[in-house]
Structures are given as C-alpha cells and as structure tokens.
Chain A
Amino acid sequence: MSDHAHSTTGLVHHFDDIEQQHEAGTLGMWAFLITEVLFFGGLFGAYAVYRSAYPEAFMRASSHLDVDLGGVNTIVLICSSLTMALSVYAAQKGSKRGIIMGLLGTMFFGAIFLGVKVIEYKDKWDHHLVPGDNFIFEGNPGGPEQLYFALYFAMTGVHAFHMIVGMVIICWMIKKAHRGDFTPGHHPLVENFGLYWHFVDIVWIFLFPLLYLIGAHSGSHT
C-alpha cells in the first residue's frame, strides 16, 4: 500500500513505467495551471467590466501607484524566472549544486518582490487607499476609485499569495535536492514547479500594465 517505491528510478507503484509517470505529472500540472488561469480569470473579468464602466476613475486611481516600484518588481520577477529556468537546466544536467543555487536565487528575487510589495501596501495604507470604511481618495470617500483599489488588492494579493506558496515549496525542494532526490532522468518536481513559477510571473506581466500603467495615459483618450 506504500505510495513510495524507493527504487532508484522513483517509479510509483501504480504506473507502468517512468515515462508514463512523468507524462501524467506534467499533464496534471498543466491542467492545474488551467484552473489557475480561470481563477485569476474571474478577477480579470471583474476588472474588465469595471474599467470599461469607469475608465477615468481607473486612470485617476492608477496614478496613485508607484510605477517605478512596479517596474523594478517586474524586472525582479523576470530575474527569478531566469534563475528558475537555470535550476531546471541544472537538474537536467544532474548538477545538484546548480539546482540549489537556482532555487536559492529564485527565493532571493521572490523575497525582494514581496518586500517591495509590502512597502507599496504600507504606502496605500498610510494614504487611506485600502478599500473599506476608511477609504479616502483625494479627500473624498471615493466611488469607483475604491473599486479600482479593491481589484488592485485582490489581484496583487492573490498573486502574492501564490508566490508565498511557491517559496514554501522551494524550501521543501531545496531539502530534497540536498538529499539528492533529483537525477537527470527523474526530476519532475523541479520541472513542474518551474511551470508553476513561470505562470505566476506571467500573471504579473499582465497585472503590471493593467494596474500601474493606465494612469500614465491620463487624458490621452477616454
């Protein structure tokens, strides 16, 4: 009944061969990412509805975000994807040290991203831009501007949550890599986690322009 067959190949009992096991794992990961697309999709849908209803309020509200910090975070996150890709490459080459270095790099950039996010959130809190009963926008209680910030916090918050989960998994993977669990022929965890991490990055690539950059265009067209 044991789920682990501690053979050198890592083949689990209910699969015929290691190839089938890898394919199943990869397909499972892609299917999971599809669910994630729809999970964020609900938020993007709400964003589309409200931005088309209140384009000017969204631009005004967006101009209160710090484009520089957002831009830095975009670069940081792209770097974390690079280190993740290097970790997967190292796994294919069988370099234990390479895997761990790549993961640590990913962890490092992820931590910077979250740190910057904390600074941004703190700034919004100080300026009463957190939706709720204390919300004040340019001296007013704010109407649709509050919707913008509700979506801002919901979307970046869910995104940040995914990064935190990812970083917990990285810790676990570093432990496994240290133990030598990954071989050139068998490292599905590294590969599938790479997919996850890149997905979380791509979500940010959409979030950044939709949330940060629409304010820069104020007045160009409605």
Chain B
Amino acid sequence: MSSTLHTPAQHASATKGAKERDTYLTADYGWKSWLFTVDHKRIAVLYLISIMVFFLIGGTFALLMRAELMTAKGDLFEAETYNKLFTMHGVVMIFFFLIPSIPAVLGNFLVPIMIGTKDLAFPKINLLSWYIYLVGGGATLYVAITGGLDTGWTFYAPYSSTYANTNVAAAAIAVFITGFSSILTGLNFIVTIHKMRAPGMTWFRMPLFLWAQYATSLIMILGTPVLAITVMLLALERTFHIGIFDPALGGDPVLFQHLFWFYSHPAVYIMILPGMGVISEIVACFSRKRMFGYHFIAFSSLAIAIFGFVVWGHHMFVSGQSAYAGFVFSFLTMLVAIPSAVKVFNWIATLYKGQVSLETPMLYALGFIGLFTIGGVTGLFLAVMGLDRHVHDTYFVVAHFHYVMVGGMVMAFMGGMHFWWSKMFGRKYPEAMGQFAAVVIFVGFNFTFFPQFILGYMGMPRRYHQYNDEFTALNVLSSAGATILGTGFLMTIVYFLWSLKWGQKAPQNQWDAKGLEWEKAQSPPPTFNFEDGERIVVTEDAYAYTYEESHTGSGHEVKK
C-alpha cells in the first residue's frame, strides 16, 4: 500500500529525498543540542532512550525471578535476594517505564503536532521534567546498587518504616523526585490542550489520543502530589521515627495504605488510559472507518479518570477497613468496568464492516483489545469481596495486573511505536519482522501470564521464592513463556535500531492515515512541526476516513 503514496498535494515533494530539508533530528548537531533542547520531539526521543534503559533493567529482574521460579525449591537466590528482585522490578517498571512510557514519549512527540502547534506550552518545563526523571532514576539505581529494596513496590508500613533493613528512605526519595517529572508533564499537556489548539481544532475534533492524554494528565496532577507527601512522611518516619505510621505511638499503618492507594490506584489508569488512546488511533486507521461512538470514547476517558479516584479501597479488603467501606469500594470498582467496556465495544463496532488490514500496529491493537478485556474482567473478580479474600495476594492478582499493564499498556506502547515510528525517525521498520515479533510477543505473553491465573486460583501466594511441588508444571510453563516474551521484545528493539540506519525511507503518510501528524507534518517533522509559515486550520472531524478514499487510494483533500 505504500508504493502509491508520493502525494502531489505536498509542496515539499520537490525537495523530497534531497538532504537539505531540515528535520528536527538534523536541525542541530552535537550533544549540547540534545541535552539543552526545548523541542518536544527531541525530549520525546530522550525519554524514549531513558525508558528503554529502565525497561531492560526491569525486564532483567523479571527474567531472573522467572528463572528462580523454574523449580519449587528456592535454589537460585536467597529469599532476601528474591524479595529485592520483585521489588526493584515493580519500582522500575511502574515508576520509570510504564508511567512515562506513552505520555512522555508518544504524548510528548504527538500532542503538539496533533493539535497543530509548534510546541508544548512550557518547553523548558518539559525539559526539566526529563532531568527530574533522570535524577529520580539515578537515585533508584543507587538504591539498587547499594543493597536494593525489599518492601515490594507498595512500601507498606510498618515493614518499610520500621523493620526493613534496606535502603527505604533513599527509594522513597527517588519516587518522590520522579513524581514531579510526571506532574510537570501532566501540567504541560493540560495547558497545551486547553490553550494551544489550532483554529478549527475544537474539543470534539481532537483525536481520541488527545482525550486520553488529557484524562491521564488530570490524574497525574491530582494524584501524584498525594504520593509525594506519602513517601515523604514514610522517609521522615524511617529516618526520625516520628511515629506517624507506628502503632506503638498510636500511628496507623493502614493510613499509609489509604494515602498510598489514593495515588497508586489512579496511577493504574495513568498506565492504561494513554494506551487506550493509542488503540483508538490505530483501530480507526486500520479499519479505514470513522471511530464508532467518538463522544462516548472521549468521555469514557474522563469517566475512568474520575472513577479512578474513588476506588482505592479495593486494595484493602483484607487490611481491616470496615465492611461498609469495603462494600462501597467494591460497588464503585465495578462501575469502572462501564467506561472501560464502552471503549472495547466501540473499538469492536469500529472494526465491524471496516476495511481491516493486519499490519503490525493493528496486530498489537487487536492483541490489546483481547488481553485488556481479560485483564479487566478478572479485575471484576477481584472487586467482589468474597472472591478477593480467596485470591488476595496470590498469583491471580499478579496475572490480572500484568494482563492490564503488559497485555494492555505495553502492547499499546509497542503498537504506537510501530504506528508512529516512521513519523518519528523517517524510516520504516521491516514489516514482516514486525508482524512476526508481534505474534511472538502475544504468544509469549499468554504463556507467561495465563498459567498464573490458575496458579493463583489454586492458592499460590505471590512474592515467595519457593512453592509447593504441585505448582511446578504451571510455573515452568510461565517461565518458558517469559523467555519467548523476552525474545520478542529483543527482536523488536534490534530491528527498530537496525531500521534507523538501514530501514526503507518512509513517505510522509506511511499508513494513508488521517490526522495532522500524517497529513500536515513531514516524516520526520521539522523543528516547528509544520512547513515554515504554514498556519494549520482544521476543517474536518477526526478520523474522516471513508470507504472511497481508501478504496481508490486518492483520498487526499485538495486544500490550499
């Protein structure tokens, strides 16, 4: 489909192929031009490199854990070492990979282009957020090197505040610092989307990716400060024994859980909403159809963000909160299923009678829809108090959130990276390799995590380095799946890097897709995103795909 895409409508085609066209990548050279850049696209690339480093670190921890769990005995690592592995895996993957993944990389790159402006509202603050992220990440690596952390990523008091012998205070400070990078990103997106949309880009003409980013940003600025103050209190308690979470002085460890989950449950939606935005873009493009139920998808993002703040107690059904609180939280939790299901049904309705083609991004999107649905529905199991007592703290929970976080967010991140790769770097990734790797990742993912549902239901607790013999077969299956999954990710990283130099040069609109980033911006875009002096005016709704356009391949508007 890509051979027909030398679009005469683009004025720039005269210079296409020639080296003189300046892109954001070639506008300036040298390390200073990167480390002091205020270009949102370059900052996105900086973020991409950093989160991939943390992804590899966190992934290594995961593989080491799966290696230990190959056998029922704890033979590869000491119990303490294993505790540190799962803790660092959680901290690194959540705070340093998942939370910044789509917002800070794809969001940073795409938000200004999608609304037709030159940059985010506060470019310097955007750069500052990356530096804050690096400082937080550096502090975390410091913790990892100086003995690690064994509290679990949840830092539950009083273990973290009193008993743990690891570097809890430093880890708390690392999380505290990193929180501000996410606050600044969220703040930037909110202001940018409110104030910098191009003429004609009304709220309901915005691509759904932007609605998702907007909802995510709301959570970032409303939730993260509470986490910051919580881990600050934890660090104070840990360092000075002020008693705030210490029952001996009347302090309440459960208060820590309340404060922690007040952020960290909404944070779960930070880790899925942007993914849903990516899936909306991909599904519409590869179905060649307008999005079914645009308004419902847009508002369901906001609904998820709002509901997300009132369900934290479902993490605490067995922590001694009152049965009435449990009842309310259980009910509210089930409500979250409604906006989530609205999205899934609308994606499926968009596929219906669409001209579906199965390029790599679409494979990831379809994988997302299935895996997220499994992850979401098992979330409902956990929202039921009676069932939660049975599977609480078992592998059922582990499998559930990995279906949402990896099966959902990581699939969406991969789909988004493939979808916008040519836009970001001007080269195509090898399509056949991409499709193959997508299938490998899908298969590996399910082999890794589906057995964990069964293990959890059978009663295998999470966070132990050894287990009863009867769990062996399923654990071996899960570990084997993890190697397949890891291989899939490595393949992807390798061909992405390969394509930067040897990939086929991409046209402006690789997918014949709608949206300002495809129709108006070169691949890769110039520093100010659009042709010099071109003022973007939006005249049509998002996803103006029609059957004729895709059928005849001449769907480009004639516009001045």
Contact = CB atoms under 8 A, between A and B. Distances in A.
Contacts of B222: 34-35, 38
B221 A39 contact: no
Interface of A: 1, 3, 13-15, 20, 23-24, 27-28, 31-32, 34-36, 38-43, 45-46, 49-50, 53-54, 57, 131-133, 142-144, 146-147, 149-151, 153-154, 158
Given A14-B117, A50-B252, A154-B244, 9 more contacts: A1-B527, A3-B123, A13-B528, A24-B191, A27-B191, A35-B187, A42-B230, A142-B249, A154-B236
A14 B37 CA distance: 14
Q: Which of A36, A39, A41, A150 has most chain B Cβ within 10 Å?
A: A150
Contact of B195 (A13, A24, A36, A43): A24
Interface string B520-548: 00000001100000000000000000000
A56 to B, nearest CB: 12
25 contacts: A3-B124, A13-B118, A14-B118, A14-B528, A15-B196, A20-B195, A23-B195, A27-B190, A27-B194, A28-B122, A31-B221, A38-B221, A38-B223, A38-B225, A39-B226, A42-B228, A42-B262, A50-B250, A50-B255, A143-B249, A143-B250, A146-B249, A146-B250, A151-B244, A154-B236
A147 B249 contact: yes
Interface in B184-223: 187-188, 190-192, 194-196, 221-223
B130 to A, nearest CB: 15
A31 B119 contact: no
Contacts of B324: none
A1 B196 contact: no
Nearest to A15: B196
B266 to A, nearest CB: 11
B99 to A, nearest CB: 16
B134 interface: no
- Mostly helix, strand, loop or mixed at chain B's interface? helix
Contacts of A1: 27-28, 33, 37-39, 527
Interface size, B (range): 35 or more
Contacts of A36: 225
Given A1-B27, A132-B241, A143-B249, A31 B259 contact: no
Contacts of A32: 187
Contacts of B27: 1
Contacts of A3: 38, 123-124
Contacts of B117: 14
Interface string B150-193: 00000000000000000000000000000000010001101110
Contacts of A23: 195
Contacts of A42: 225-226, 228-230, 233, 259, 262
Given A3-B123, A41-B225, A46-B244, A31 B249 contact: no
Q: Which of A28, A32, A36, A43 has most chain B Cβ within 10 Å?
A: A28
Contacts of A150: 236, 242-244
A61 to B, nearest CB: 12
B91 interface: no
B386 interface: no
B240 interface: yes
Contacts of B123: 3, 14
B293 interface: no
Nearest to A40: B229
Give the 5 A-B residue pairs with the shortest CB-CB distance, closest first.
A42-B229, A39-B225, A150-B242, A131-B242, A144-B250
